[in-house]
Amino acid sequence: MQSMLTNKTAKALALGTLTALSSVTAQADDQQLLDTLLKNGTITPAQHSELTGQQVAEKQAEAKKVAEPKGSDVLVKFGKKGFRVETADEKFKFKIGGRMHVDATFNANDKDFDQRGTEGVEVRRARLAVSGVLWHDYKYKAQFDFADNDLAIKDLFVKYTGFDWFNITVGNQKQAISLELQNSSNDMPFTERSLVSSLTVPMFDRAIGLRIDSSGKNWSTQLGFYGDNIGKNGIQVNDEGWGVSSRVTFAPIMTKKHILHVGASAGYRATSDEGTTLKYKYETTHMSNLYFTNAKVTDVDGVTLADVEAAYMFGSFSVQAEYAHTWIEREGMGGVDFGAYYVQAAWTLTGESRNYKGSYGKFKRLKPANEFSWSKGTWGAVELATRFDGNDLNSGDIQGGEEHAVTVALNWYLNQNVRLMADYRYAFDVTNSAVKDVNGSEIDGGTHDFTFRTQLTF
C-alpha cells in the first residue's frame, strides 16, 4: 500500500513539475527532466513511458491546432487546374486559367478551284480566364481571347447559386442551344465544330443576357433571355435585337462508363433594325478563307432555331449526333430555312472513357489513366474519332450551297493539360457553291484538308 502511494506521489510530482515548467522551459527540457527522474528512481520505467507519450501527444495536438486553417486563412494552390487562391471556409475563391491552341493547316488540292485556300500556322486560341466564388453563393468568370493579336471578350458573367432549385446567371455567356456549342473547344475530339455550327453560331453563340438553370445529377434545364453579343458574330445591324432560348437534357443511363444522353433545344431571335443581314457560312479550315457553303440573307426580321441531340457511351466507345434546322423571317418577302447535321464516333485506344456531366448535359475533357512519361514507360491516352456531317443552305431565292464532309481525327493526350491533335477532313458532294472548279464548272471532286494542333489548357 505504501509503495502504491509512493508511486502515485511520484507520478503526481512529475506531472506537477512538468506543468510548472511548461510555461518557462522548452519541450526538450521537459524530456530531460523525465530522464533525470527516471535515472534517480523517482519514477518507474512504465511511468516514464506514459509521461513521454503524453508529452508527444500534447505536442502533436498543439501542432495540429496551429496547422489547421481557420475560416479566413488563405490557401494557395498550383497544379493541373491552374493557379488557385481560396479561403479555408471556401467562401472566397480565385482561379487563373487559360488555353493555347496552335494550329498548322494544309490543303492538298485547292489548286483545283477558282479560289485558293490560305495555308500556314496560326494561334487559333490564346485565352486567359479568371473565375471564382464570392461569399459562397456568387460565382464569376471573365475570359478573354488574344488570338490574332486582338482582344475578344468571351465569358463575362456572375452567377447566383443561393437558391435551392435554380441558379441565375447575368452577363455575356453561351446561349442555351446545342450540345456541340455547349462543349468546350478544349474537350471536343475534333479541331473544329461540325457543319451544324454554320446554323448555330451566327445568332445563337454567346450573348449578353439572363439565364435561369436548374439541374439534378442526370438532368438539366436552361431558359435564357438575351440581347446582343459583345462581338456581333458577323451580323450587320445598327440596334441590337433580343432573343430567348431553352435547352433540356436527360441521361436515363449514367454511370462512369455507360451513358445515354438525349436533349433538345430551341431559340428565337428578333432583330430591331430593318435591313438586318445575316451570314451563314462554313470555312474549310479556320484560316483558309475558303467557303464552299456561304449564304447571305438580307432584310432579316426574326430567326427560329430547333435542335435535337443524342449521345451514347459504353466504356471507351461513344457516338454522338445532332440535327439543327433554322427558319428565317424576312421583311417584305418570303422566309427561308436551312438544315444541318452530324454523326460522330470516338474510340479511346488506351481504354479510358469520356467524362460526362449530367447536371450540365455535356461532355468534358478525356483524362488519361497514365500520363506520358518517357522514364516510366507510360504513354498517356490515344483517341481515334470520325465524323460525318452536312448542311444545306439552299432555300427559295437563297442559294448558299450544300456540302457534306467526313473527318478523321487522331488525338494524343499526354496528360490532363497537353493534347496533340491531327485532323483530316474531306468535303464532297458540294453543290451550288460560289467556289467553282478552275474551269468555272461545279466542283466535281472534293477538298482534302489537314490540321495539326498543339493544345495546352490549365
Question: What residues does each domain of the chain span?
Answer: 2-67, 100-122+174-457
Burial of 36 (0-12, 13-18, 19+ CB in 10 A): exposed
CA distance 244 to 248: 14
Q: Is the pTM of this model over 0.85?
A: no
- What's the sign of the alpha-carbon dihedral 434, 440, 446, 447? negative
User: What is the arithmetic mean of pLDDT over 428-454?
Assistant: 91
What letters, b where the CB count within 10 A reaches 16 and e where it falls short, cover 20-31? Answer: eeeeeeeeeebe
CA distance 443 to 441: 6
Number of Cβ within a 10 Å radius of residue 196: 26
Amino acid 34 reads L
Each residue of 141-153: pLDDT tens digit?
999 999 988 999 9
Contact (Cβ atoms closer than 8 angstroms) between residue 374 and residue 321: no
Check whether 252 has a pLDDT greater than 80: yes
C-alpha cell recorded at residue 443: 466542283
pLDDT tier at 112, thresholds 50, 70, 90: confident
Q: Which residue has the cell 497514365?
A: 370
Contact (Cβ atoms closer than 8 angstroms) between residue 131 and residue 95: yes
pLDDT tier at 38, thresholds 50, 70, 90: confident
C-alpha cell recorded at residue 437: 472548279
Which pLDDT value is given to residue 21?
38
C-alpha cell recorded at residue 67: 496547422
- Compute CA 374 distance to the chain's CA centroid, rounded to the nearest angstrom: 28
Q: Report strand pairing: 82-87 vs 93-107.
A: antiparallel
Helix (H) / strand (E) containing 375: none
Least confident of 17-26, 78-87, 109-118, 434-443: 17-26
Check whether 66 has a pLDDT greater than 70: no
List % helix, strand, coil for the chain (3-state, nearest 5). Answer: 15, 50, 30
State the Rg of the chain over Cα. Answer: 32
Q: What end-to-end distance do the CA atoms of the chain give, in Å?
A: 72
Amino acid 66 reads V
pLDDT tier at 20, thresholds 50, 70, 90: very low
pLDDT tier at 46, thresholds 50, 70, 90: confident
| CATH topology for the 100-122+174-457 domain | Porin (2.40.160)
Which pLDDT value is given to residue 67?
57
Q: Give me the chain's average pLDDT, please.
A: 89
